[in-house]
Amino acid sequence: MSLLAGKTVVVSGVGAGLGRQVAAAVVREGGNAVLGARTGSALAEAAAGIDPEGTRTAYRAADITDEGRCEALAALALERFGGIDAVVHVAALDSHFGGLADADFAAWRTVLDVNLLGTLRMTRACLPALRAGGGGSVVFIGTQSAIAAPTEVRQAAYAASKGALTSAMYSLARELGPDRIRVNTVLPGWMWGPPVQAYTRFTARAEGVPEEEVRARLAGRMALPDLATDGDVAEAVVFLASDRARAITGQSLLVNAGEVMR
């Protein structure tokens, strides 16, 4: 039995990496995927690759800092598939680097507006449909950095925003639980996909070593001797979006090959 047979899942932040892997996993597991991202051309490319016949996907350009765009993406799910059973929040701003000493707090506000408030805007836009369907699932994408800061890079704003989102999860799980809406968070660590691949290339060039050496150095820190991939994280997401996780809410799941355990 497919995990998401007949279910409709809204996925924000569908690009070349995790968002696309999540959307592909939704379709593979029998669901309908409603794709959102800021760039329409990227959405069209992703939808064509995931669902060439166009029967199981729909997409609309959506900036999660714009409440109206969030509502329009939720409306598309209703127009095309008649409801919403789950929403997965991949959209995020992770390109601001630095710590406290060199903090640009205007940039921090932008990060918080996207990663925390944008995710909550998109969730609220989907609430009426989730309630009308008798409940469902909300899955946040957090980060291991929120509980264990990496030594290689400083992304304090990103970590803080995702940590705040995980804290918000607890309140939402209580608030929405009576409507049978579950709220959980997946926390990826070093995830082999476009961002970590770019980091590996940059570090290899800077150090004058092969890229595989940099990857092996990262993988050597894991209990399992490899890095989790975007696809591995997507598998955890579709489980939490499915009815197999019907009794799970207010939980954070690390997908990190065992680098950090708790």
What does the DSSP assignment read for 164-202? HHHHHHHHHHHHHGGGTEEEEEEEE-SEETHHHHHHHHH
Cβ(261)–Cβ(253) under 8 Å? no
What does the DSSP assignment read for 27-39? HHTT-EEEEEES-
> Encoding tokens for residue 133?
């369907």
Active site residues: 158
Indicate the burial class of 177 (C-beta count within 10 angstroms; 0-12, 13-18, 19 or more): middle
Would you state the torsion angle of the CA atoms of residues 249, 252, 256, 259, taken in this order, to the nearest 10 degrees? -140
Q: At what angle do helices 105-112 and 156-176 cross, to 10 degrees?
A: 30
Q: What value, to the nearest 5°, has the Cα angle with vertex 25 and ends 22 and 31? A: 105
